[in-house]
Amino acid sequence: AGLGPKPQAERMFALMDRFLSNDPVSLQKDILDHVEYTVARSRFSFDDFEAYQALAHSVRDRLIERWHDTQQYFKRKDPKRLYFLSLEFLMGRSLSNSVINLGIRDQCADALSQLGFEYEVLAEQEGDAALGNGGLARLSACQMDSLATLDYPAWGYGLRYQYGLFRQVILDGFQHEQPDYWLNFGNPWEIERVHVSYPVKFYGTVEEETLNGKSCKVWLPGETVEAVAYDNPIPGYGTRNTINLRLWAAKPDGQYDMESYNTGDYINAVVNRQRAETISCVLYPDDRSYQGKELRLKQHYFFVSASLQDIIRRFKDGHNNFDDFPEKVALQLNDTHPSLAVVEVMRVLVDEEHLGWDQAWNIVCRIFSFTTHTVLPEALEKIPVDLLGSLLPRHLQIIYDINFNFMEELKKRIGLDFNRLSQMSIVEEGAVKSIRMANLSIVCSHTVNGVSRMHSELLKTRVFKDFYELWPHKFQYKTNGVTQRRWIVVSNPSLCALISKWLGTEAWIRDIDLLIGLQEFAADADLHQEWKMVRKVNKMRLAEYIEAMSGVKVSLDAMFDVQIKRIHEYKRQLLNILSIIHRYDCIKNMEKTQRRKVVPRVCIVGGKAAPGYEVAKKIIKLCHAVAEKINNDADVGDLLKLIFVPDYNVSVAELVIPGADLSQHISTAGHEASGTGCMKFLMNGCLLLATADGSTVEIIEEIGEENMFLFGAKVHEVPALREKSSDHKAPLQFSHVVRMVRDGHFGFKDYFKSLCDGVEGDSDFYLLGSDFASYLEAQAAADKAFVDQEKWTQMSILSTAGSGRFSSDRTIEDYAETTWGIEPCKCPS
């Protein structure tokens, strides 16, 4: 199939020697050219930021070459392609990742040093691309890296928000949100494609018309906005393949306001133009609940409609029969946010391509797969019918038709069980009649998966039980993974070098299973020596950052104990803080001689709270209030410090994770769908203190219980514990520390009252009280293990050695084979 080789393509491959060279001198020349012509500064006088810009453009040139080759090659080969639809991508910085994947880091460093610049200093000039909230968004970024590295013919699609995730600023211990205008200083990593744009329509009415003797529906939209493409090349590691992340920005439609201009209403016309741009203006900063907001729904449809127009255009350029569509296209719904795509494909096929309903439905059911990232019912999106009907009237009709057919099929299978029918219906009746986006996605997708084995079991037995009973074959599990390129090679270069030295190869960077080879040396004294040295250097780097950021000097002999992630009640940062209060209280009440036995700790907490999430914001304030007390208590000194790392993002994670001795993943069992932070820490040889929740259950299987610190109720015990009377749940130490907070030991007595109320008595939904005793035991076990540094180092080596299963390469291969049905398509080097 396809077009066959084109003469230009043949010639292009023949001219490979004209590609940019990667030796330091060529790089220097390119950098200076960009200083002069792109940044428009004199090549005799430019600062670090300008040097970063010039370097970024030089790297971008190389990315573009590979991008072109890859896209040409895909076009020639015409393989089945994966389109990964995600409303969020948390890419972080691009320079460091790109130079590693292109294999030109050392050459860049050499080139710069001869020009009087330091690579590391320039890399720090780049801000994070934070177009996402948390786990889901960072996972998308890791998966893009693996798709490129493994040569899969894939594209990502998303939104180019003008404002990414808010910047967290802490004033007097309280979180404040500031806009993240990440595009202020330009973005060299994207390519604006002014000629790639599509009209996206909203509102209006649906009319009935007759075409060729058949009646059909015609949508007469009321508003049109233009979607303009911005391409972000994603290079693979150790391959020429460079795939694309295409993000859409909203621009006013050319015709949009001609009338206003013509009637002289110039001001209104300009204001209207700005209104169009608001669609891609801001990322919603809440990964916890969805409120039926019109702008959010507009964002969903805007990105879905533009992406599908683009995908269908590409398909039609070489194919003229839509029955071939499922052979060429796999569409991945990353959570429910893009799920209007199923409806849009139906609309395009039926209304615009004039396929029959059944033929179109058959195509839809073969192209979509759906991943859900949550177990929290409040995070399952529902869209009020009134809102959907006004914004997308034709789509609402199609949803009703899909639901009607589904309900008819269901009645044949289960009879008139109205309770089940109404639970499975895509349309939820009730005070606010709504569309259940998860139900819509399940009905229309060929596979549905959770993101860890435990999560997928919970989907089958609880969240989507009825659907599992109906279609067991649809349900899969795909345990998440993270990319070792970003999380070891980029963020922990000294560990990377050490691993390569002991394994005798760098091949593990593409083939992570090789890491298991470290097991053989886990007791080797020489490796211990070198491993400890690497860890110490990373701790020094982190300690310097802490001092610069907070003014607190921390001891490198202390255990660096880290909990960094979004602030959520279920993630139980409060449990951590209460145990820190307990530790503080114990130290204060000890004799001086006893204190010598205390293992010094530096507790590091970081994470953002959704702006409207009051409890999470109070947890941040409590952390600061406790830190204020402890860090200023000279009597406690280096035995205990508490640090809150503000504005936690990908770059902060790259600094903190390699420096951590212990990391905490302590959600109430059954609440964390997977967790990916734990995988990053594991790869970096950090020991885990964890509950058996999400992916930690599988980590236990890989590295053994004896190499981590486990505690807490198991998932099957949670319901009974919630029933249990409060008097039997919490130990005395727990009541004591909560009392300290209540009594104003850390100030803000009234402000913290509701936090205390929420974890005492019958309101302790997340079981802080009943898990407290075993949590303290696990903490004590960690202290004990830390005293024996050789043992600790061995556990650390075994953690890294056992982390292979948690690479996103493994996850992506699994999706490719068992969900998407795609094959690698490697562009010749």
Shortest spacing between CB 285 and ligand 9GP, in angstroms: 12
Say which residues have a Cβ less than 8 Å from residue 694's Cβ, sequence separation at least 6: 451, 452, 454, 455, 665, 667, 672, 673, 674, 675
* Known catalytic residue at 624: no
Whole-number Cα distances in Å, 270 to 251, 260, 408: 12, 9, 50
Nearer to ligand 9GP, 372 or 491 (CB): 372
- If you compute the radius of gyration of the chain from its CA atoms, what whole number of angstroms results? 28
Shortest spacing between CB 286 and ligand 9GP, in angstroms: 10
Nearer to ligand 9GP, 462 or 501 (CB): 462
Q: What is the dihedral of CA 27, 30, 36, 39, to 10 degrees?
A: -90
Shortest spacing between CB 209 and ligand 9GP, in angstroms: 41
Nearest 5°: the CA angle 61, 62, 68 is: 90
Q: Does 646 bind ligand 9GP (CB under 6 A)?
A: no
Q: How far apart are CA 512 and CA 807, in angstroms?
A: 7
Nearer to ligand 9GP, 451 or 656 (CB): 451
Question: Which window, 132-140, 196-204, 597-605, 730-738, contacts ligand 9GP (CB under 6 A)?
Answer: 132-140
Q: Does 610 bind ligand 9GP (CB under 6 A)?
A: no
770-773 contact pairs (CB < 8 A, 24+): 770/713, 770/721, 770/724, 770/729, 770/730, 771/575, 771/668, 771/691, 771/711, 771/712, 771/713, 772/575, 772/578, 772/579, 772/730, 772/731, 772/733, 772/734, 773/731, 773/733, 773/734
Nearer to ligand 9GP, 379 or 602 (CB): 379
User: Binding residue for ligand 9GP (CB under 6 A) from 50, 344, 381, 672?
Assistant: 672
In the block, residue with structure tokens 């995070």: 379
Q: How far apart are CA 249 and CA 191, in angstroms?
A: 12
In the block, residue with structure tokens 């020596």: 529
Q: Does 664 bind ligand 9GP (CB under 6 A)?
A: no
Nearer to ligand 9GP, 24 or 135 (CB): 135
Which residue in the list 34, 395, 571, 618 is annotated as catalytic? 571
User: Binding residue for ligand 9GP (CB under 6 A) from 257, 287, 569, 783?
Assistant: 287
User: Binding residue for ligand 9GP (CB under 6 A) from 96, 168, 305, 374?
Assistant: 374
Q: Does 136 bind ligand 9GP (CB under 6 A)?
A: yes
Q: Is 116 helix (H, G, I), strand (E, B) or coil?
A: coil
Shortest spacing between CB 376 and ligand 9GP, in angstroms: 7
Q: Does 675 bind ligand 9GP (CB under 6 A)?
A: yes
Which residue in the list 57, 93, 486, 565 is annotated as catalytic? 565
User: Binding residue for ligand 9GP (CB under 6 A) from 127, 134, 252, 802?
Assistant: 134
Nearer to ligand 9GP, 308 or 379 (CB): 379
Nearer to ligand 9GP, 486 or 535 (CB): 486
Shortest-Cβ-distance residue relative to ligand 9GP: 135
- Nearest alpha-carbon partner for 303 in 348, 341, 342, 346: 341
Binding mask 431-470 for ligand 9GP (x = CB under 6 A): --------------------x-------------------
Q: Does 158 bind ligand 9GP (CB under 6 A)?
A: no
**Residue 459 DSSP code:** I
Shortest spacing between CB 371 and ligand 9GP, in angstroms: 7
Shortest spacing between CB 161 and ligand 9GP, in angstroms: 16
Nearer to ligand 9GP, 332 or 796 (CB): 332
Is residue 392 within 8 Å of residue 340, measured between CB atoms? yes
User: Binding residue for ligand 9GP (CB under 6 A) from 379, 543, 546, 660?
Assistant: 379
User: Binding residue for ligand 9GP (CB under 6 A) from 24, 127, 135, 685?
Assistant: 135
Q: How far apart are CA 639 and CA 527, in angstroms?
A: 29
Is residue 638 within 8 Å of residue 600, measured between CB atoms? yes
Question: Which window, 225-233, 372-380, 646-654, 775-783, contacts ligand 9GP (CB under 6 A)?
Answer: 372-380
- Nearest alpha-carbon partner for 370 in 399, 341, 335, 342: 335
Question: Which window, 21-29, 135-143, 153-161, 640-648, contacts ligand 9GP (CB under 6 A)?
Answer: 135-143
Q: How far apart are CA 61 and CA 51, in angstroms?
A: 15
Q: How far apart are CA 454 and CA 463, in angstroms?
A: 12
Q: How far apart are CA 606 and CA 666, in angstroms?
A: 14
Nearest 5°: the CA angle 720, 721, 726 is: 130
Binding mask 677-696 for ligand 9GP (x = CB under 6 A): -----------------x--
Question: Which window, 33-41, 133-141, 297-305, 800-808, contacts ligand 9GP (CB under 6 A)?
Answer: 133-141
Which residue in the list 373, 460, 608, 805 is annotated as catalytic? 373
Shortest spacing between CB 372 and ligand 9GP, in angstroms: 8
Strand partners, 223: 202
Number of residues that bind ligand 9GP (CB under 6 A): 16
Q: Does 797 bind ligand 9GP (CB under 6 A)?
A: no
Question: Which window, 459-467, 610-618, 674-682, 746-754, contacts ligand 9GP (CB under 6 A)?
Answer: 674-682
Say which residues have a Cβ less than 8 Å from residue 763's Cβ, sequence separation at least 6: 757
Q: What are phi and psi of 431, to 5 degrees?
A: -55, -45
* Known catalytic residue at 566: yes
**One-character DSSP codes across 399-424:** HHHHHHHHHHHHHHHH-S-HHHHHHH
Question: Which window, 134-142, 220-228, 461-469, 754-762, contacts ligand 9GP (CB under 6 A)?
Answer: 134-142
Is residue 93 within 8 Å of residue 123, measured between CB atoms? yes
Q: What are phi and psi of 747, to 5 degrees?
A: 75, -175
Nearer to ligand 9GP, 78 or 287 (CB): 287
Is residue 159 within 8 Å of residue 302, measured between CB atoms? yes
Q: Does 699 bind ligand 9GP (CB under 6 A)?
A: no
Strands lying side by side in the sheet with 559-564: 640-645, 601-606, 559-564, 662-665, 687-690, 709-710
Nearer to ligand 9GP, 289 or 500 (CB): 289
**One-character DSSP codes across 288-311:** S-----HHHHHHHHHHHHHHHHHH
Shortest spacing between CB 236 and ligand 9GP, in angstroms: 22
Which residue in the list 668, 676, 800, 811 is annotated as catalytic? 676
Q: Does 101 bind ligand 9GP (CB under 6 A)?
A: no
* Known catalytic residue at 239: no
Q: Does 481 bind ligand 9GP (CB under 6 A)?
A: no
In the block, residue with structure tokens 């004591």: 736
Nearer to ligand 9GP, 491 or 667 (CB): 667
Q: How far apart are CA 413 and CA 285, in angstroms?
A: 41
Q: What are phi and psi of 679, to 5 degrees?
A: -70, -35
Nearer to ligand 9GP, 53 or 479 (CB): 479
Shortest spacing between CB 476 and ligand 9GP, in angstroms: 14
Which residue in the list 566, 582, 601, 805 is annotated as catalytic? 566
Q: Does 666 bind ligand 9GP (CB under 6 A)?
A: no
Shortest spacing between CB 158 and ligand 9GP, in angstroms: 14
Q: How far apart are CA 774 and CA 582, in angstroms?
A: 14
User: Binding residue for ligand 9GP (CB under 6 A) from 441, 480, 573, 807?
Assistant: 480
* Known catalytic residue at 446: no
Q: Does 139 bind ligand 9GP (CB under 6 A)?
A: yes
Residues taking part in catalysis: 373, 565-566, 571, 676, 680
Per CB under 6 A, residues contacting ligand 9GP are 134-136, 139, 287, 373-374, 379, 451, 480, 672-676, 694
